[in-house]
Every structure is written in C-alpha cells, then in structure tokens.
C-alpha cells in the first residue's frame, strides 16, 4: 500500500539554527498537507500544496512540493523554542482518497 | 479554531470493561475519522466515515467499532478493553471535498490496566 516516510525521525537544534524535514511518498500524490503537533497536543493543520514544484511560505516556514509530486519538504529558518513539536506530512493520491500521514519528525529546540 | 470535542480527555479502566469514546463536531463536516497514536509516534487511521450511516475500517486493524447515526457524532466503542488498547485516540473531521484539511480534537488518552 501507499507509504509516506519522513526523515529525520528526530532533530535537535540550537535556537537560531535552521531545520528541514523531508517527506517521501511511494506513490504520486495529488496534494500534500503539513501538520504540527505540540507535545501533549493534537495535530494542527499548517498548509496544503497541490501543484508540482509549488513553494509556499508562512513567516519563517517554507514548504515545497516536488516536481514529481512524490516528495515534499518543510524548512524552518532561525528556529525558536515555540517551533518545538512533531511535524507530520500527509499525502493524498494514488488509488485512494484517504489521507496517509507520514512517520513524523520530532523537533527539539534548545535555547 | 475548529469545534470538535472529545470526551473523556483521560480514561483509566480495567481489563474487560466496555468503553465508549465520544467525539462530536459542530461544523457540519461530512467526513470524520479516528486515529490511534502512541506517544511521539505516527498516526494510524482505524476508522472513518463519509457521512451518516457510512463507516469504514482504516489501515490499522482495530478491535473497536464505530457508528455514525448523526452527522455531528462519531463514537468509538471497545467491547472488552485490553492493555494492548492503551494509546491516544484522536478524532478528526473534514469537509466533504476531496482535499479538505483535517480538524483534530484534543484526543482521549486511554490506559487499560
């Protein structure tokens, strides 16, 4: 079945450093969504990418959808302690309309 | 902010007990979902519904059952709880269109002793 993998699984950074998580799907996606889950919280929708090669920005966060629509990335510039949490990508496509969540990347930011 | 509510927030229960986790949303969303998530781990879809009287099993096999008698309500039931059911259960909803984002509830943290 369709699989969505994320790397790295964990990332510890010093506050002010940049951070990137990569999301790879085994099948071509029609769209990809990104969610953030704070420790002890629930996933919260951040953004959706639909077009091949699409790039979207939210303040210090930059999201990219690959040309082949099989991978995506989230880049955070100059991390802050408020960025702590687990970032999940979620893809939709193939022969199903179900949203398949990635394995997640847990980000820890040290002050 | 999304209006989707889960109760209870925490539940500790003994083996063999029947439990129902409640989930309600006030947004009129057609689609609702149940995910199981161990702490710090990925989300596994266990049940979903595309509308009233529609329920489907997700990707992760689960001994739980669900019902969707009303649009706003999507309860999950375990007939006989076991320690292996200990986990966090997250309910979510979305609009009916294909690529609608999910709105999650705060979750129920279940511990079966």
Work out the end-to-end distance of chain A between its first and last CA atoms, rounded to an integer number of angstroms.
Answer: 41
- Residues in A touching B99 (Cβ below 8 Å): 30-31, 33, 48, 50, 92
User: Kind of pairing, strands B65-66 and B54-57?
Assistant: unpaired
Cα separation, A8 vs A29, whole angstroms: 21
Q: How far is B108 from chain A (nearest CA, A)?
A: 10
Cα separation, A30 vs A26, whole angstroms: 13
The list of chain A residues with pLDDT below 50 reads none
pLDDT digits (tens, 9 = 90+) for A8-18: 999 999 999 99
pLDDT of res. B69? 97
Of chain B residues 24-83, which have a CB less than 8 A from chain A? 35, 40-43, 45, 48, 58-59
Cα separation, A41 vs A27, whole angstroms: 30
pLDDT digits (tens, 9 = 90+) for B71-85: 999 999 999 999 999
- Residues in B touching A9 (Cβ below 8 Å): none
Q: Nearest-CA neighbor of B19 among B67, B71, B65?
A: B65
pLDDT of res. A31? 94
Q: How far is A68 from chain B (nearest CA, A)?
A: 18
Whether the pLDDT of residue B2 is over 60: the answer is: no
Cα–Cα distances (Å) from A68 to A35, A52, A56, A64, B53, in that order, read 21, 7, 17, 12, 38
Q: How far is B90 from chain A (nearest CA, A)?
A: 8
Q: Show the CA angle centred on residue A34, arms to residues A101 and B75, nearest 5°.
A: 55
Strand partners, A56: A63
């Amino acid at each position: 079945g369709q699989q969505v993998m994320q790397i790295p699984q964990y990332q510890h950074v010093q506050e002010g450093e940049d951070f990137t998580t990569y999301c790879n799907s085994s099948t071509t996606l029609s769209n990809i969504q990104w969610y953030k889950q704070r420790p002890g919280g629930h996933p919260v929708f951040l953004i959706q990418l639909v077009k091949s090669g699409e790039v979207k920005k939210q303040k210090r966060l930059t999201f990219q959808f690959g040309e082949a629509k099989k991978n995506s990335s989230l880049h955070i510039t100059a991390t802050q302690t408020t960025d702590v949490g687990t970032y999940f990508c979620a893809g939709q496509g193939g022969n199903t309309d179900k949203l398949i969540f990635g394995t997640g990347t847990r980000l820890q930011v040290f002050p | 902010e999304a209006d989707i509510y889960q109760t209870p927030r925490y539940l500790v229960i003994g083996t063999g007990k029947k439990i129902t986790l409640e989930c309600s949303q006030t947004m009129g969303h057609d689609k609702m979902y149940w995910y199981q998530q161990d702490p710090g781990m990925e989300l596994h879809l266990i049940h979903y519904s595309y509308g009233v009287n529609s329920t489907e099993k997700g990707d992760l096999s689960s001994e739980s059952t669900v019902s969707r008698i009303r649009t706003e309500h999507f309860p999950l039931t375990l007939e006989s709880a076991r320690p292996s059911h200990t986990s966090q259960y997250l309910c979510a909803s979305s609009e009916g269109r294909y690529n609608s984002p999910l709105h999650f509830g705060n979750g129920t943290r279940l511990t079966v002793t």
